Amino acid sequence: MAESVKKLIKYENPMRALLSLSDKTGLLDLGRELLQLGFELVSTGGTAKELRDAKIPCLEVSDVTGFPEILNGRVKTLHPGIFGGILYDRKNPAHKGEIEKHDIGPIDWVIVNLYPFEKISMENKVNKSEMIEFIDIGGVSLLRAAGKNFESVVVLCDPADYGKALQELKDNKKVSLESRRALAAKAFGHTAHYDAMISRHFRHEVLDDISNLKSGVKITTPIQNEASLFPSELTLGLKKLNDLRYGENPHQKASLYQETGVRAWGIVHAEKLQGKELSFNNYLDLDAAWNIVNAFAGSPYKGAACVIIKHNNPSGTAVAETALSAFQLAYAADPISAFGGVIGCSSTVDKEAAQEIAKTFFECVIAPDYAPEALEIFKTKQNLRILRQASGLLLPYELDVKKISGGFLVQERDLQLSAEDKVVTQRAPTPEEAYSLGFAWRVAKAVKSNAIVLSQGSVTAGVGAGQMSRIDSMKIAFSKMAAARLEPLEVSPSKISGIKSHITKLPLVMASDAFFPFRDTVDEAARAGVTAIIQPGGSLRDQESINAANEHGLAMVFSGMRHFKH
C-alpha cells in the first residue's frame, strides 16, 4: 500500500501539505481550503483523525513512509520519506535525482504547532518524569526543515497566518519568496522560544533542588553547581502581548512582551479595568509602584501601604490604618511631585480613598482590588488607568535582566533587606526611631541612587533621588520635607509593636542607600533635625561619620548591605 500511496502523491497532485497540530484551531477550515486548491493532505495520527471525522480525506504519515509510529508516538515523522520531501532543493538536479531514485514525493507546505510544553509545565499537574513526554521532537524538526528550505516550502506554525497564506496563494498562484522568508523567521523564532521554555524548566528544576538542599530538605537527585543560576548559555522566552503607542518618547516604537515559562505575576499580567492605553513609561512606573507596596507585605508595618511614583521614584510612601489615610499621607509628603503620578496600593481601594484620589490628576492606579463604589467614582475620570493585580513574592532565582549595547547584564534580584543592623554609635535608636528607620530603609531600597529618604514613622517626609552627590540628594530630600504638609506629624504609635499607646510626634530619621564617603552628610542631617540614621557602612571614613553622629547625639545603624539602584 505504501508504494501506491507514494505514486499517488507524486504523480496526481502538484501540491502537498503536511499537517501535524497540537492546537487544532482552524484545522477543518484549513483542510477544506487546501483540498479546494488541489493539495494532498498528509497528517499525523490525531490530526488525521480529526480531518477524517469531518470527512476531509487525508493520508497518514505512516502511509507515506511505510513505517508505523513507534515508541508510544515518540517517533512519527522522523523519516527520509518526510524530511527528504521537505528539504530537497528544487533547483538542484542532484537533489531531484535522489528524490526520484528513492521515490520520495515533495512536501510543499508544512503546517505544524508543538506539544504545549509551557502550558503543561505551568499548570504543575504533571510530575517530572511525565513532563519529558511533552517535549516535541518531530514537530520542531519539521518546522526547522521547512524553514531552512523556505525558498521552496511554506511553513506555518501559527493559526493566525493560515488565512493570509491561503489568500496570497489564491491571488497570485503562489506564496511570495518574501512571505515564505517571513514565515520561516517566525517558525525559527517559535522553535527557539520552545527550546527556551524547556531549558528554563530543567534549569529551574536544578535550582529548586539547590533551594531544597539549603532548606534541609532531603533530595535524591544530583545537585549541579550554583552556577546553574547563570549558565554559559542563557535563554529567555518572550512572547509579544501587544504594541504600545510609542516608547519612552513619541519617536520611539515599542511593544510589550511577557516572560514565558514562569508563573503569571507582576505588571505584565495586571488586569486593566478602565482607562486609555498604557504607555511604555506607565509600565515602568507601575512596576516600581507594585514592587514598593509589595515590600511591605509580611513586614512589621501593618495596614495599608500606598506609594506615588513619579519618573520611577517614589515621591511619597506611607503605611497607615486605611487606604484613605495611607494615600493622604503619601500625597502630602510631596504634593507638587505627586501630580500626574502613578499610585500603588497594597490593599483594596475603597470609596473614601477613590474620592480623594479623584480630586487630583493621576495617570494610573494599581491595587489588588477595588470596591464597586470606587470603580464607579473612577469612571468619571475616563483617562485614568485602573489596574488590578494581587501582590506576589518573587522566586529566589528570578533574574533581573538589563539591556546594554551589544548584550545584557543579568543579576539576581535585590530581594534581601539588611545583613546585620548593627548599632555603631554610643546611643542606640529608640523604639520609635528604630520603627522609622526600618520604614525608611525599605523605601530607600527602591529609590534611584544616590538615594536619601527621610521618614517619620511609616511616612516619608522627603525623598532625594538620583543625584551625582549624596549630599545633593540629602539637600533635595530636606527641600521636599520643607514643602510637604506633614509638620507637625501627629500619629498614634499604638500600631507600633512594643510601644505604649499614646499620641506623640515621631522623630525624623534618615536612610541612605550607600555609605557616606565623608562626615558632611551626617553634619547636615543633624543640623536639619535628624535624630537617627541607617546606612550600609563600609567606607574607609566610617569612623568619621560615627564620630560626627556621636558629637551630635545621633543614633546610627549599619545595615551591612547597600542597595544601589541605577
Q: To the nearest whole number, what is the mean pLDDT of the chain? A: 85
The answer to whether residues 410 and 471 touch, using CB atoms and an 8 Å cutoff, is no
Q: What are phi and psi of 402, to 5 degrees?
A: -125, 135
pLDDT value of position 194 = 85
> What is the number of other CB atoms lying within 10 angstroms of the CB of residue 221?
12
Total H helices, total E strands in the chain: 20, 23
CB 364 within 8 A of CB 275: yes
Residues in the chain: 566
Inter-residue contact 498 to 484 (CB < 8 Å): no
Spatial distance between the Cα atoms of 229 and 206, rounded to a whole number of angstroms: 9
Q: What share of the chain is helix, strand, coil (3-state, %, to 5)?
A: 40, 20, 40
* 2-198 classified as CATH 3.30.565.10: no
Q: Are 557 and 427 in contact (CB under 8 A)?
A: no
- State residue 366 phi and psi, 5-degree precision: -130, 135
Q: Running DSSP on this structure, what letter comes out for residue 185?
A: H
The alpha carbon of 21 is separated from its chain's Cα centroid by a whole number of angstroms, namely 29
**Directed axis angle between helix 45-53 and helix 27-36, to 10°?**
80
Residues of the chain with pLDDT under 50: 1-13, 213-225, 487-504
Q: What is the DSSP letter of 243?
A: E
pLDDT at 486: 58
Q: Quote the pLDDT of residue 44.
A: 86
Task: Establish whether domains 270-388 and 417-558 are of one fold.
Answer: yes
Nearest-angstrom CA–CA distance, 62 and 75: 11
Strand partners, 388: 271, 367
Radius of gyration of the chain (CA): 31
Q: State residue 476 phi and psi, 5-degree precision.
A: -65, -40
The continuous run of DSSP H or E covering 344 comes out as strand 342-345
445 half-sphere exposure, CB direction, 13 A CA radius: 22
Is 417-558 in CATH node 3.40.190.80?
no
Distances (CA, A) of 550 to 424, 426, 428, 526: 9, 6, 11, 11
By the 8 A CB rule, do 416 and 393 touch? Answer: no
Return the CATH class of domain 270-388. Answer: alpha beta
Please state, in angstroms and rounded to a whole number, the distance separating the CA atoms of residues 422 and 123. 44
148 CB-contact burial (10 Å; exposed 0-12 / middle 13-18 / buried 19+) = middle
CA–CA separation, 269 and 264 (whole Å):
6
**pLDDT at res. 68:** 78
Write down the pLDDT at residue 130.
74
CA distance 428 to 561: 19
**Residue type present at position 446:** A
Let me know: does 373 contact 350? Beta carbons within 8 Å: yes
Q: What sign for the dihedral angle of Cα 181, 183, 184, 189? A: positive
pLDDT of residue 396: 56
DSSP element (H, E) containing 199: helix 177-214
The residues with which 272 forms a beta bridge, in sequence order, are: 387
Where exactly are the structural domains of the chain?
Answer: 2-198, 270-388, 417-558
Handedness of CA 219, 225, 228, 229 (dihedral sign): positive
**Sign of the CA dihedral with 158 first, then 161, 163, and 169 last:** negative
Closest by CA to 22, choosing from 111, 110, 115, 132, is: 115
Burial 363-393 (b: 16+ CB within 10 A, else e): bbbbbbebbeebbebbeebeebbbbbbebee
What are residue 552's phi and psi, to 5 degrees?
-90, 0
Helix (H) or strand (E) segment spanning residue 19: strand 15-20
With CA atoms as reference, report the closest residue to 538 among 522, 562, 556: 562
Residues involved in catalysis: 148, 311
